[in-house]
Structure 1
Amino acid sequence: MSNNVISKENLVGTWKLVDFYTVNAQEKVSYPFGENPTGYLVYTENGYMSVSIMTTNRPLLGLSVEEMQDLKNAKLGLELIGNLGKYLKASLRYFSAGRNYLSYSGTYQIRGNSVIHNLEVSLVPDWIGLDFERNVKFSEGQIILTNMVKDTSYNLTWKLIP
């Protein structure tokens, strides 16, 4: 797949993240999720998409699934105060984990050489309802999605999983 004609036929599938870097106006290259991020991008035949990207080797929170649920449901009281130290440390690690993770999903549309992601669900609540336009280039079983934010170019390369 080395042409750059975008269609559902050549977009639909599960894609694994190969590379993610930014280039600013001074041509400085940065890696928002480190030099070896992990991620998946899924486009479905019926017009839905989902993307998740994370820094590899994120620190563990140190809480079990049950403790995470207890923390989520905790009300101000003796139990919360008694475990405040533990929960405060976990909350700081949770914040760090969130900073090193990106996820959103919704529908998509193809327009010219771009794909537009219509966000319905997002880790960042402020993004819900927004449309993210990505320029698309195909190259040897990979797609490269690019977009500009202010003076910075975001470049993500994805490899199709057979």
Structure 2
Amino acid sequence: MQDVSTMQDQMIGVWELDSYQVTDENQNVTYPLGEDATGIAIYHRGGYMSVQMMSSGRPAYAGGDIHVGTPSGVAAAARGYLGYSGAYRINEDEGLVEHDMEVSLNPNWVGDTQPRYIQIKEDVLTISSEPVFIQGKEQNTKITWKRIRQ
């Protein structure tokens, strides 16, 4: 990896999900999409990003249609997926990335800005949050990514 000086420069690239975990106030750690979740995050030099994460082994829709499944199949697919895209900004002084949610599987996030703390060490990006509402309670998130492309 080339020597870069700013967080903005270091964020640019394609990242593969290593871990997505949440921690409650009692320090209990859970994995909302499973310990074997997969995902891709893309941060573009032009200030746009896309994050897609999913549970492994989600069942296919029985009919094969890309938009139509049984109500339970659609619900299971949505429960096992987290995706959003939009503009992003880096606040170097606070070690934050701010994601502007232009599109999101979660309709509550559309039009919202989600700030996240970032740490970058070599080719590992860690994104964490103040408590957010997950699985019925406020919890801290920690998502770890490994760089696969600059």
TM-score, structure 1 as length reference:
0.80
Q: Does 1:143 align with 2:130?
A: no
1:100-137 deviation per Cα after TM superposition (whole angstroms, max 9, x unaligned): 10111000001130000001011112211111111001
TM-score when normalising by structure 2 = 0.86
What is the correspondence of 1:83-122 to structure 2 with a 5 Å cutoff? 90-111=70-91, 112=93, 113-122=95-104
Whole-angstrom distance in 2 between the partners of 1:31 and 1:126: 21
Shift in Å at residue 152 of structure 1? 1.6
State the alpha-carbon separation in 2 of the partners of residues 101 and 6 from structure 1: 31
Q: Structure 2 CA distance, aligned partners of 1:35 and 1:126?
A: 25
Q: Find the counterpart in structure 2 of residue 78 from structure 1.
A: none
Q: Distance in 2 between matches of 1:31 and 1:103?
A: 16
Q: Which residue of 2 aligns with 1:31?
A: 31
| Equivalent runs, 1:1-162 vs 2, <5 Å | 6-65=6-65, 68=66, 71=68, 90-111=70-91, 112=93, 113-150=95-132, 151-162=138-149
Identical amino acids, percent of aligned pairs:
32
Choose between structure 1 and 2: higher helix proportion: 1
Over the residues paired in the alignment, what is the CA RMSD in angstroms? Answer: 1.9
Deviation at 1:6, TM superposition (A): 4.7
Q: Which has the higher strand share?
A: 2
Deviations 1:126-161 (A, max 9, x none): 211111111001123110000022552100000011
Q: Which gives a bigger RCO, structure 1 or 2 (Cα 8 Å, sep 6+)?
A: 1
Which is higher, the Rg of structure 1 or of structure 2? Answer: 1
Equivalent residue number for residue 135 of structure 2: none
Q: After TM superposition, what 4+ stretches of structure 1 lie above 6 angstroms from structure 2?
A: none
Q: Across the two proteins, how many residue pairs are aligned to each other? A: 140
Gaps of 5+ in 1: 72-86
Matching residue's letter, 2:25: A
In 2, Cα distance between the equivalents of 1:26 and 1:149? 13
